[in-house]
Structure 1
Amino acid sequence: MQKYQKLFLIILATFMLILLTACGSSSTSTNSGGQSETSIEDETSGEVIQAKIGVISYLSGAGAAYGEAITQGLKLAQKEINEKGEVNIELVIEDSAGEAEQAVNAGQKLMADDSILAIIGPTLSTEFFAVAPEADLNGITIMGTSTTADGIPEIGDYVFRNSIPEALAIPAAMEKAVKRTGAKKVAIIYGNDDAFTKAGFEVMKRTAEEMGLEITTIETYQKGQSDYKAQLTKIKNTNPDLVLASALYNEGAVIIDQARKMGITVPFVGGNGFNSPQVIEIAGDAANGLIVGTPYFGDSTDPKIVEFNKKYEEEYGKKPDQFAAQAYDALYIYADALKRAGTGEDRDAFRDALAETKDFEGILGLFSFNEVGDVVMDVTVVEIKDGKFVEFEE
């Protein structure tokens, strides 16, 4: 009998030990400070917001440097955002080759994927005007990081951009150029077969008229043109004080180079398409004297810009340009909206959170959207001097 009692006590003690162990391994415990501490499983479970973002970028063709910079800026931001652990973003990247039709095909492919929350791109305004109406119709947010033509955010409620429009950048550059030079007469040259360059021209013409400047001549060219001597001869013969050029960097750099070789020495004022190191690479010393408005000055001593330059160079072996910086900020703006929306699956919730973005502190400065989804931020005017972009000094 005693043997059985002893066995019973051993079994009871074993059961109590198991019970105590189980209680001690519950999901909360008390740390040395007396505070409740959640287990790692509970702390991370369900809190990382997963989101799939489509990207339409100009990755092949004459202007591929734009798309390359944009996608590299996005990927750098993606890496940093995902490492922080609050949001995990997957990028699905499609090449538009700078063509509206191919951009539409890429956009339709992305929109048909229900797992994709939102889209970034396309690169050019012409492409964006073709894709954005479909995105708005499908209720999927689309944001341009390099699209600066007038009327883009007005396309619809789901359409945004974080790139400074030509309507802000060009007047800022023109005002500083006229103040420094005392210019009274300007000549204009622009590409008449592209929405971006046509929009820049409209801003240049309107601003010149508002400033009381005489427009001596207006010359046009087509995308891919290589010889501008006829247009530049007419410009030279009118003896302007400034030349206003609305062009992408590949044509714009050639225009400046040929102008200098023909003896046109007055400053050029360009639109956003000139904000690329490629202008200096193509035109060399001829690029000196180019003045542009931009949200990004790469040689700034601002610690945020210095750190961004360092990280970008470590990752890609070269300095970033405006397009890389705007794309980098764009993905952070998306990540911020994701956190406020609390989901990576609800397209409407994400759109509403994005629209409420105000005073977001990016590397380009404080950023907000206005009531139609357009940019609210400051413009910096820069010029090319001694073969590099420097901050404009009056």
Structure 2
Amino acid sequence: MLFVVSACADESTDGDGEGDSSSIEVDVGLISFITGSGAGYGEAITNGIKLANEEVKEEGNVDINLIIEDSAGEQEQALSAAQKLMNSDNVSVLIGPTLSNEMNVVGPEADLNGVPTIGTSTTAVGIPQIGDYIFRNSIPESQAIPASIEAAVEKYDVETVAMLYGNDDVFTQSGFDTMEKVAKDMGLEILTIETFQRDQSDYNAQLTKIKDVDPDLILASALYNEGAVIMNQARRIGIDVPFVGGNGFNSPEVIEIAGDASEGLIVATPWFAGVDNPKVQQFTEKYEEEFDLEPDQFAAQAYDALHLLADAIEKAGSDDRDAIRDALAETSGFEGVLGEMSFDEDGDIVMEPIVLTIKDGKFQLFE
């Protein structure tokens, strides 16, 4: 699936932002999870990118021609899309792909070709370390998960936990690895560790084992479609202890699918629409007006990523891949809807997570 948003490069500037012959024209490829079981991620990411690009064009300093490819959440399709964008379309920058396991095949190829690449939702360990051209503005699980577990342990006086994760996906495996380390570091007793496979629909065997050991807390690493079903089935068999979810749970789709069963879920995220910040409120209002949806973490991260990129392109002064890569690496103190952001020496984002819970059918601050 291919969508092209064309840049109006031939228009002359008239001072109203409708066209600026002095703007820097850049072709940017976006690889997004648009169709398939995780399409909610791709929809939010694509919407956030498009909204930010409208604003960038209005500012008139950078003119981004956005070429969007669907990965369907599959490594092979993501890699094929990346190769097309880098070679046939000759883009200067890649945004995405959506999942960490997709980035594990796209990242090395992009780095080899010298194409700066920004992950807006890839949170597994080691993503920026793929190469010098790989960045991400999505807060890694290694920063988010400790915050959510520590908050839950303190509030509920937790001593024992059960763990559940998808063992055939690099993202959910990475989330589990972080959860296990945090639990051990905090001296929590891990009563059982249960696994499942991607797109599984029946989790009763695993949940029954968890119910039998009666933990104080469940740590789950899953994508939203899996996580929502897991919580729904857990509540149906009488498990009433809180869940701490990995980054994959940070979507309103969890509430849509699980309904009341999602109540009490605890997650950590860099984004919360309820923050008293004019920049956040302005973005939220624009997003809701444009798409008739409330922006989630993935929309906000994508929105900021496009603005981060536009800032780097302006500083680079051209569409040259190396110049843009160097400008991205120097990003420090950038103010976005996620807060103040900088890239560390590996290309990883540095920012503070917020701990949220689902209460009364919506994400709220966990207190």
Q: Amino acid of the residue matched to residue 331 of structure 2?
A: T
Partner of 2:50: 75
The residue number in structure 2 matching 1:157 is: 132
Q: Distance in 1 between matches of 2:331 and 2:22?
A: 22
Q: Which amino acid aligns with 1:343?
A: S
AA partner of residue 57 (structure 1): S
What does 1:182-331 align with in structure 2 at a 5 Å threshold? 182-331=157-306
The 5 A counterparts of 1:1-394 are 47-113=22-88, 115-344=90-319, 346-393=320-367
> What SS is found at the alignment partner of 1:146?
coil
* Aligned counterparts of 1:137 and 1:328: Cα–Cα separation in 2: 27
Q: Which residue of 2 aligns with 1:13?
A: none
Rounded Cα–Cα distance in structure 1 between residues aligned with 2:146 and 2:228: 21
Number of equivalent positions: 353
TM-score by length of 1: 0.88
Deviation of 1:298 (Å): 1.9
Q: Which residue number corresponds to residue 19 of structure 1?
A: none
Q: By how many angstroms is 1:269 displaced?
A: 0.2
Asked if the contact 2:331/2:342 (under 8 Å) is kept, the reply is: yes
Mapped partners of 1:45, 1:241: distance in 2: 60
AA at the equivalent of 2:357: E
Provide, for residues 301-333 of structure 1, a one-character-per-residue CA deviation record: whole Å limited to 9, x for no partner. Answer: 322111111100111111111100000000000
Distance 2:273 2:103 in 1: 26
Q: Deviations over 1:349-379 (max 9, x none)?
A: 1100000000000010000000000010111
CA distance in 2 between partners of 1:84 and 1:138 (Å): 30
Normalising by the residue count of structure 2, what TM-score does the alignment of the two structures yield? 0.94
Task: Letter of the 1:209 partner, please give it.
Answer: K
Unaligned runs of 5+ in 1: 1-38
Any conservation in 1 of the 2:273–2:284 contact (CA below 8 Å)?
yes
Ranges in structure 2 where 5+ consecutive residues have no aligned partner: 1-12
Give yes or no for contact 2:20–2:61 (8 Å, CA) kept in 1. no
Which region of structure 1 is more displaced relative to structure 2, 112-121 or 312-321? 112-121
What secondary structure is seen at the aligned counterpart in 2 of 1:328?
A: helix
- Native 8 Å contact 2:20 2:60 kept in 1: no
Cα 1:301/1:40, change in 2 over 3 Å:
closer
Letter in structure 1 aligned against 2:36: G
Structure 1 residue 299: Cα displacement: 2.4
Deviation at 1:115, TM superposition (A): 3.8
The aligned amino acid for 1:216 is: L
Q: CA RMSD in A?
A: 1.5
Q: In the alignment, residue 324 of structure 2 is paired with which amino acid?
A: F
Structure exhibiting the larger radius of gyration computed from Cα positions:
1
Return the alpha-carbon distance in structure 2 between the equivalents of residues 361 and 302 of structure 1. 11
Is the partner of 1:108 in helix, strand or coil? helix
| Partner AA of 2:281 in structure 1 | V
Give the C-alpha shift of residue 45 in structure 1: 7.2
Question: Which letter does structure 1 place at the counterpart of 2:121?
Answer: S
In structure 2, distance between residues paired with 1:199 and 1:173: 16
Q: Distance in 1 between matches of 2:114 and 2:272?
A: 35
Residues 152-187 of structure 1 deviation map (CA, whole Å, 9 limit, x = unaligned): 000000000000000000000000000001100000
> Distance between the aligned counterparts of 1:171 and 1:264, measured in 2?
23
Aligned counterparts of 2:14 and 2:110: Cα–Cα separation in 1: 40
Q: What is the CA-CA distance between 1:132 and the residue it aligns to?
A: 0.4
User: What is the aligned partner in structure 1 of residue 5 from structure 2?
Assistant: none
Give the superposition deviation at 1:40: 7.0
Shift of residue 46 of structure 1? 5.4
What is the alpha-carbon distance in structure 1 between the residues aligned to residue 153 and residue 140 of structure 2? 20
Alignment identity in percent?
A: 62
